[in-house]
Structure 1
């Protein structure tokens, strides 16, 4: 069950999606992901691990890691799972920003 904070962010995401559809219509673009991003994914995972071991990990570290893991994936089911993880981290990050600014 999503919290009120999560529901507010997801409502903002839904509004942005509606705006995108209004502006661009339905888009069925190629994924553009795969092995060419494996090095960046590995580097992002390492940077995230190192930052958290040092005690200075940030949402940026986690988000970039999740995004590059998605970009490195070519299997549609695994890509979908990685994108859900990246979006969830983004939502969590927005919630943290909202808490800091309220």
Structure 2
């Protein structure tokens, strides 16, 4: 296995440990999604635009990408599309943590 793959495995193990801790604290939760509130689509569009501009300037950050993904998920009301947006958001979060770990020599 490569160092990159090993890092991903460690980060995903940390995510699994956090999920286990959440279940231990709160049990299984079936809350409403709460997405698609008035204004969410506009905020998602604005977040996409800001992200594009930042990268065009050469100043894009993980924050920009993560925020865009979060806003796209919050704007979505279709459960299938919402799931896809959440997976994208989580994947960006994992990628961000991997970058932090690389910088820290983990």
TM tier relative to shorter chain: over 0.9
List 4+ stretches of structure 1 deviating above 6 A.
none
TM-score normalised to structure 2 length: 0.93
Alignment match, 2:46: 43
RMSD, aligned α-carbons: 1.4
Alignment match, 2:88: 85
Alignment match, 1:57: 60
Structure 2: 5+ residue stretches without partners: none
Alignment match, 1:76: 79
Instruction: Return the offset for 1:35.
Output: 4.8
SS of 2:35's partner is: coil
Instruction: Return the offset for 1:54.
Output: 0.4
Q: In 2, Cα distance between the equivalents of 1:40 and 1:4?
A: 36
Alignment match, 2:16: 14
Instruction: Return the offset for 1:26.
Output: 0.5
Q: Which moved more, 1:29-38 or 1:85-94?
A: 29-38
Aligned length: 102
Structure 1: 5+ residue stretches without partners: none
Q: In 2, Cα distance between the equivalents of 1:85 and 1:53?
A: 21
Deviations 1:43-93 (A, max 9, x none): 100000000000000000000000000000000000000000000000000
Alignment match, 1:101: 104
TM-score normalised to structure 1 length: 0.96
